[in-house]
Amino acid sequence: MHFGSDLMRAYEKLGMRTRINAAAFGTSGGGSIMFPEVLSAMQEASKSYISIPELLQKAGDRIAQLAGVEACYITNGAAAGVSLSVAACMTGKDDSRVHQLPNTEGMKDEVIVQRMQLNFYELMVRLSGAKIIETGLANRVYPWHIESSINERTAAIVHFPAYSPPTDLPLEQVIEVAHRYSVPVIVDAASEFPPFSVLSEFWELGADLTILSGGKGIRGPQSSGLILGRKDLVEACAMNASPNHGVGRPMKVGKEEIVGLLTAVEMWSDSKFEKKMFDSWQKSSEYMKNCLSEIPGVRAFLGSSPPSSTGNSVRPLGLPYVQVEWDERKITKTIEQVVEELGKGNQIIEVSLGFPDGILLNPATMQPQEEMIVVDRLSEIFAN
């Protein structure tokens, strides 16, 4: 079965243009494109009725085994994972408390977040009923900032690697301070995958729960996510989530998404598969770099893990990318004009802005052969 052409017709019927994603995995852009094996597994899963609680348990156990962590729960996205993880830290495995949320009376309900990490996803913390306690200065965080924010109402500390600047307190120190006071640490690592080792990396650092998106780098269903870590807290997440009647009841994940995400994780657990993916990205990067470098006035070069303002991750991803810059005296187009022209035509091409100049091309989000289309479009734009 060929899904691509059917999908194209579905969008065409709505008068929509499809996109080549040379930028990054993002929810508003459709997440990622699932592997054919994932789609096949989801189609197979759709043909039978099944016990969802049992499926969640068995699929979670399998992923935990592959990842090398105590336990895993599959939810409907990383954002839901944040809400469920915070709820779990407030209720534990107490049914009366599960049914009480979002009313937190009598519970530990304060969640500490470093001030510079505050972002849109703090709403997911508050959605569970918790209160956010900001800590640190606007340009520096010290261990005593964390320590002084902990009290008898502290339920957890949430760490957002993607929004953590270098002047934040590193995760290792956050964990050390938190655990001194028996406070669990939740890491929202939604977009930190690949490599596969990230599934256990924060756990090995000491984080109690790690949250990842299933629909970004893992390339499972977009409406899926993982919570990995401490068994008791993962079990509390399940109690707060669908199909149970906790605060996470609306955060429903279907049998198809559960099986699809498990399939994607199993594929990535094969080191040969992961190497094949990285090799293909490197090959695409080299092709784009070599072709674009031949254009007069253009400079293209390879990089690894593009720098970003949201950078202080505990480990370098090592993902290849291509940075493209040009001499505006020879090619009289600004970055904004080039990006605008890439948005024209039958198919939109999305790119990221370069650091400090030009644009970035990300092969990990592109489909085979799309690097040729990107090169042709950029060559056209620069020639004109």
Give the closest residue to 224 by CA, choosing from 236, 209, 214, 237.
Answer: 214
Judgement on whether residues 184 and 256 belong to the same structural domain of the protein: yes
Do 301 and 250 fall into the same domain?
no
Q: Which of 268, 284, 314 is the last residue of a domain?
A: 268
pLDDT number for residue 315: 41
Mean pLDDT across 83-95: 98
Residues whose CB falls within 8 Å of the CB of residue 246, separated by 6 or more in sequence, listed in order: 87, 91, 98, 99, 101, 239, 240
Judgement on whether residues 216 and 364 belong to the same structural domain of the protein: no
259-308: pLDDT as tens digits:
999 999 999 999 999 999 999 999 999 999 999 999 999 999 998 765 43
Which range marks the domain in which residue 321 is found? 3-30+271-383
Statement to judge: residues 275 and 264 lie in one domain: no
Joined tokens for residue 313:
């991750």
The DSSP element (H or E) to which 377 belongs, if any, is: helix 370-383
Does 5 have pLDDT greater than 60?
no
Say whether both 91 and 143 belong to one domain: yes
The rounded distance, in Å, linking the Cα atoms of 202 and 184 is 13
Helices (H), 150-197: 171-180
What average pLDDT is seen over the chain? 92
Specify the pTM: 0.91
Tens digits of residue pLDDT in 25-78: 888 888 899 999 999 999 999 999 999 999 999 999 999 999 999 999 999 999
Q: Are 229 and 207 in contact (CB under 8 A)?
A: yes
Count of domains for the chain = 2
Cβ atoms of 321 and 306 within 8 Å: the answer is yes
> Is residue 326 domain-shared with residue 186, that is, in the same domain?
no
Q: Kindly state the average pLDDT of the residues 323-332.
A: 91
Q: Specify whether 246 is located in the same domain as 127.
A: yes
* Same domain for 229 and 184: yes
Half-sphere exposure for 180 (CA within 13 Å, toward CB):
13
CATH of the domain at 139: 3.40.640.10
Q: What is the C-alpha to C-alpha distance for residues 337 and 330, in angstroms, rounded to an integer?
A: 15
Of 262, 200, 251, the residue nearest 87 (C-alpha) = 251
Quick one: pLDDT at residue 7?
Answer: 55
Q: At what angle do helices 78-91 and 231-240 cross, to 10 degrees?
A: 110
226's CB contacts (< 8 A; 6+ apart) are: 63, 72, 73, 74, 75, 78, 81, 199, 210, 211, 212, 214, 261, 265
Among 210, 242, 268, give the residue marking a domain's end. Answer: 268
- Give yes or no: residues 239 and 314 share one domain: no
In a shared domain, residues 264 and 338: no
